[in-house]
Structure 1
Amino acid sequence: MNILAVSIIFSVLFHMPDVIASLDSEDVRNYLGTRTPYRFISNKNDSKIKYPNCKDSKIWMMIRHGTRLPSAKDILGMNSTLRDLKYEILLMHKKGKGELNLEQLKLLEDWSKHIDVEQEKFLAREGQDEMILLAERMHKRFPNAIKNKYNNKTFMFRYTATQRAQQSARYFTIGLFDKKESQGVIFSPANKVDPELRFYKHCDKWQKQVKKNPDTYVEQKLYGTSAEMNKTIAAVSKKLGLDKVLSLGTVNLMYKICGFETSWNKHHLSPWCSAFDQESAEVMEYYHDLKHYWMDGYGHDLTYRQACMAIKTMFDNFRCHKRDPHAIFLFAHSGTLLKILTHMHLYKPESPLRGDAIDRKRPWRATNIDCFASNLAFVLYKCKDGDRVLTLHQERIIKLPMCESELCPLEHLKEYFHDSIYNCDYSDMCSLDKDNSS
């Protein structure tokens, strides 16, 4: 059987889903965006990925931290806005208003959250589980690139200077080895300024021309005042039985907490998800996708050009000698993963996302491409006809747009990404003093 035939077989087993396969399409959990738990997306098929006359040799993997706690702002919103709203909703339903059923009302009545603001964005228990299970599956798929025993010369682990990334890396090593052996793992020092894992944080030009530029948020703001959004806010307010129309900020807070709490708890849906149906959840998902598209994706070329800082390290490792690490695992953030996916020309819509109406056919859906524990892996195969690279996103084999097959010749990728490898000048690209276009 040739490589192409095997590729077709694995494309069936490991293909990227258009929707979350384990959930009904009308389930609001299909539309949680960046707060989607990885258990909805992960590929449970952990069979060894083999190709004839090829052997997995090295792996380079970028991983978003696992499920986390909310930001301080959202924690405060839970403790004040949502707490007060809870009693208002219960009161209105006692008056015969609203559309929540008895089970939903009971969940809401029992709802109480006391999260310490000082623990903002800390890794949640679900995030620990996500990392352990992800590591176990990857180990089974690529046993040659990912050895059974830890050695600091063959493994490299790096994380950003954040608790959630550091803890994600720690629990990932428990999944790769075991709890005892993982205690001996050496992690590369975390840097506050990290051009490889969080390049955008200190790219002055990007910060000014993209993140802090009001033009970046024009489409999202347009959608926030659109007829679709106004209809959604009115529908949510009516479903909750309120005699007022909620603000977009409050509905957005409910949507975010719906995602967080659904991620934390494997067995119960957050009571705040009851405020949404499929249509309203889709609208809120698109509202956030607009922001990520224009800030982290295809909206500005500087956004994804700077991701060369990460991609370059992968190519450097793949073309270097045997003494270099065989398995590199990097733990970063949503902003890192989205920019790298864009740099690789993945999930690009046919036309830019706009705020006048929802684009339901877009491949750019954070729910699928940027959930908690989202990951992108490149695996180097040593084959009889030369070195080849297999790409996996969310543990599923994908074909890169610039490649003819899933197992892509390394030389072809090096030629295609020549500028990313040899002309990746971070200082020149990000300096406000330079006259580079963005």
Structure 2
Amino acid sequence: MSGLVFLLALGLASAQEICLSVQDDPYLFFGTKTAYIFANKDNPSTRVHEVPGCQPIAFWLLNRHGTHNPEANEMPELQRLADLKRNILTNYKNGNFRDTNQRICQSDLNLLERWEWNERINLTFAGDLTVDGYMTTQQLGQAWKQRFPGLLTPNQHNYLFKFVNDQRSSNAFKAFTEGLFGSDADSLDIPKENDEKLLRPYKFCPAWTKEVEENNDTVSQLAIFESKREYQEMISNISLRLGFNYDVQKEVIQRIYQMCRYNKAWDVVKVSPWCAAFTREDLKRLEYAEDLETYYKYGYGSPLNKDIGCTLVKDMMNFFEKHSADVDTPQQPRALIHFSSAAMLLLTLTALGAHQDIVPLTGDNYHSTNVQARKWTTSTMMPFNANIAAVLYKCTQNGKFQVNEPYQVLFLENERPMYLDKCRVGLCDWSLVKHRYQELANKCDLQFCNSATKLNSFTAISFAAIAYIFRYITMRI
């Protein structure tokens, strides 16, 4: 290593060193691979959600899993970073720079030299929750119990858990229930069931698969953004920073970015040497690229997404209808808790009408004021351990906090009040909830899934644009 230090000092003494791994205010938003603590900082985990004059009577929750190992199809590409590391170190040793004003600083190089692929992360454990992912899921169970102590009681018969049939969701259920029930969790017969069609309806919907998931037009706006000169310059600058005399492939940049954000999610206090490849603006552009992809694949970019995201809205409405029926006998379960994927949570948010921007996201409007202040941001919407909760309250008139109706619903996203139009800090009249979502729930039979549809991406983008223009005009009236 001393030889490398000498060469750097001798040949590149006048170069501008950029220590990107040790910035005072690092950019920590990494799309769907963001750590929950970064997306949800400053949120007190023990705060009780009290609504004056109201008592919570039913709790509905949809969870995403915590941090996990790379998927099986990711591992071979990420393991190849070991070869890339050797090439970068060779570049620096040989002084291979087109522009010496951009290069990685010595401390970042030292970190990179020490980096090795963790051999314990192999195909046997592909996609499994990490130790941190298990612990944060436990902590989330504890946090919800602290927020609603009178509703989330130690009685296991008050609960019904639903999760998809895979190892990751099963472990998430196990971790969450340990957070709720402590050491008693393993000995309790906790009501649970697998419900794939409820929690992953898109896997059973050929029309959505054809028209959205496998439709090349779905990523057309992403392709436009990636074709922009500034995006190509970003690739050039990153290549320069790594010491290459040519622009590396976009896929290599994506591989580095994936490792960077996995590292930061796995250990939030540890510095990832791969993050040193990116400036703050680089990370914002890569974040927007994923926002574009998810916007059209799971969000408002296609009208089919609301239609397929209806299943969990229907599940919530049916659950609350039962508990708001004013029957004398308390209804069971009192808590309905689900575990699913980031895709399903995004589809559900779309069906709920949350994070709806005035103008659609496109590959051309990255620098616009609306996009820079956009609501559709996967980093804050869908970090690891993301969650959507709805709590039904039964209320009486209270002089300090007037409620219009005896039943209220509090919507929470990542434990914070969700912004929904005509609601007060996430608290909505039950009649408003029914008016807004009952028709969607009643029509949620997914019959369109097996029918031929001629909707293409251009039509979807036009539909989205017209919808937003109409919404913008009506807001001004």
TM-score, normalising length: structure 1:
0.89
1:99 is aligned to 2:71: no
Unaligned runs of 5+ in 2: 1-21, 324-329, 397-404, 461-477
* CA 435–41 in structure 1, closer or farther in 2 if over 3 Å, else same: closer
Aligned to 2:401: none
For residue 307 of structure 1, the aligned residue among 309, 319, 343 is 309
* CA 435–218 in structure 1, closer or farther in 2 if over 3 Å, else same: closer
Letter in 2 for 1:387: Y
Per-residue deviation, 1:303? 0.9
RMSD across aligned positions (CA): 2.0
Q: Deviations over 1:253-301 (max 9, x none)?
A: 1111111111111331221101001011111111111100000100111
SS in 2 for 1:196: helix
Per-residue deviation, 1:188? 2.4
Letter in 1 for 2:107: E
Per-residue deviation, 1:357? 4.3
Aligned to 1:354: 362
In the alignment, the residues of structure 1 paired with residue 238 and residue 152 of structure 2 have an alpha-carbon distance, to the nearest angstrom, of: 48
Aligned to 1:345: 353
Letter in 2 for 1:95: N
SS in 2 for 1:246: coil
Report if the CA contact (8 A) 2:156-2:191 is conserved.
Answer: no
SS in 1 for 2:282: helix
* CA 391–361 in structure 1, closer or farther in 2 if over 3 Å, else same: same
Q: Deviations over 1:168-204 (max 9, x none)?
A: 111011111103334424352324xx22111111111
Aligned to 2:407: 387
Aligned to 1:280: 282
Report if the CA contact (8 A) 1:150-1:185 is conserved.
Answer: no
Report if the CA contact (8 A) 1:39-1:130 is conserved.
Answer: no
Q: Deviations over 1:94-151 (max 9, x none)?
A: 234562222211211111112212322111111111111111111111112211x132
Report if the CA contact (8 A) 1:388-1:410 is conserved.
Answer: yes
1:401 is aligned to 2:403: no
Report if the CA contact (8 A) 2:412-2:426 is conserved.
Answer: no
Aligned to 1:227: 229
Q: Deviations over 1:322-356 (max 9, x none)?
A: 23211111000110010111111111222111112
Per-residue deviation, 1:44? 2.9
In the alignment, the residues of structure 1 paired with residue 373 and residue 87 of structure 2 have an alpha-carbon distance, to the nearest angstrom, of: 37
- Compare CA radii of gyration and give the structure with the larger one: 2
Query: How is 1:106-117 mapped onto 2 (pairs within 5 angstroms)?
Result: 106-113=110-117, 114=119, 115-117=121-123
Aligned to 2:70: 70
For residue 136 of structure 2, the aligned residue among 125, 130, 137 is 130
Query: How is 1:200-279 mapped onto 2 (pairs within 5 angstroms)?
Result: 200-279=202-281
Aligned to 1:430: 449
Letter in 2 for 1:362: R
Aligned to 2:389: 377
SS in 2 for 1:61: strand
Per-residue deviation, 1:33? 0.5
Report if the CA contact (8 A) 1:220-1:355 is conserved.
Answer: yes
In the alignment, the residues of structure 1 paired with residue 418 and residue 60 of structure 2 have an alpha-carbon distance, to the nearest angstrom, of: 15
Q: Deviations over 1:28-77 (max 9, x none)?
A: 323x1100011212323422111211011111000011111112232111
In the alignment, the residues of structure 1 paired with residue 37 and residue 341 of structure 2 have an alpha-carbon distance, to the nearest angstrom, of: 18
Q: Deviations over 1:190-238 (max 9, x none)?
A: 24xx221111111111011111111111011111221121011011111
User: Aligned residue pairs: how many?
Assistant: 409
For residue 150 of structure 1, the aligned residue among 148, 152, 155 is 155
* CA 222–198 in structure 1, closer or farther in 2 if over 3 Å, else same: same
Letter in 1 for 2:395: C
Per-residue deviation, 1:429? 2.5
Report if the CA contact (8 A) 2:159-2:191 is conserved.
Answer: no
Letter in 2 for 1:60: W
In the alignment, the residues of structure 2 paired with residue 128 and residue 298 of structure 1 have an alpha-carbon distance, to the nearest angstrom, of: 32
SS in 2 for 1:57: strand
Unaligned runs of 5+ in 1: 1-22
Report if the CA contact (8 A) 1:224-1:248 is conserved.
Answer: no
Report if the CA contact (8 A) 1:46-1:140 is conserved.
Answer: yes
Per-residue deviation, 1:435? 8.1
SS in 1 for 2:313: helix
In the alignment, the residues of structure 2 paired with residue 117 and residue 320 of structure 1 have an alpha-carbon distance, to the nearest angstrom, of: 44
In the alignment, the residues of structure 2 paired with residue 86 and residue 150 of structure 1 have an alpha-carbon distance, to the nearest angstrom, of: 53
1:189 is aligned to 2:208: no
SS in 2 for 1:279: helix
In the alignment, the residues of structure 1 paired with residue 449 and residue 111 of structure 2 have an alpha-carbon distance, to the nearest angstrom, of: 49
* CA 88–435 in structure 1, closer or farther in 2 if over 3 Å, else same: closer
In the alignment, the residues of structure 2 paired with residue 424 and residue 360 of structure 1 have an alpha-carbon distance, to the nearest angstrom, of: 34
Report if the CA contact (8 A) 1:173-1:185 is conserved.
Answer: no
In the alignment, the residues of structure 2 paired with residue 424 and residue 337 of structure 1 have an alpha-carbon distance, to the nearest angstrom, of: 17
Report if the CA contact (8 A) 1:33-1:285 is conserved.
Answer: yes
* CA 228–182 in structure 1, closer or farther in 2 if over 3 Å, else same: farther
In the alignment, the residues of structure 2 paired with residue 177 and residue 41 of structure 1 have an alpha-carbon distance, to the nearest angstrom, of: 26
In the alignment, the residues of structure 2 paired with residue 269 and residue 120 of structure 1 have an alpha-carbon distance, to the nearest angstrom, of: 23
* CA 217–436 in structure 1, closer or farther in 2 if over 3 Å, else same: closer
* CA 183–246 in structure 1, closer or farther in 2 if over 3 Å, else same: farther
* CA 182–50 in structure 1, closer or farther in 2 if over 3 Å, else same: farther
TM-score, normalising length: structure 2:
0.82
Per-residue deviation, 1:434? 7.3
Aligned to 2:297: 295
Deviates more, 1:44-53 or 1:258-267: 44-53
In the alignment, the residues of structure 2 paired with residue 162 and residue 375 of structure 1 have an alpha-carbon distance, to the nearest angstrom, of: 19
Report if the CA contact (8 A) 2:55-2:395 is conserved.
Answer: yes
SS in 1 for 2:197: coil
* CA 247–430 in structure 1, closer or farther in 2 if over 3 Å, else same: same
Aligned to 2:9: none
Aligned to 1:34: 32
Task: Calculate percent identity across the aligned residue pairs.
Answer: 29
Report if the CA contact (8 A) 2:388-2:411 is conserved.
Answer: yes
In the alignment, the residues of structure 1 paired with residue 232 and residue 264 of structure 2 have an alpha-carbon distance, to the nearest angstrom, of: 25
Aligned to 1:120: 126
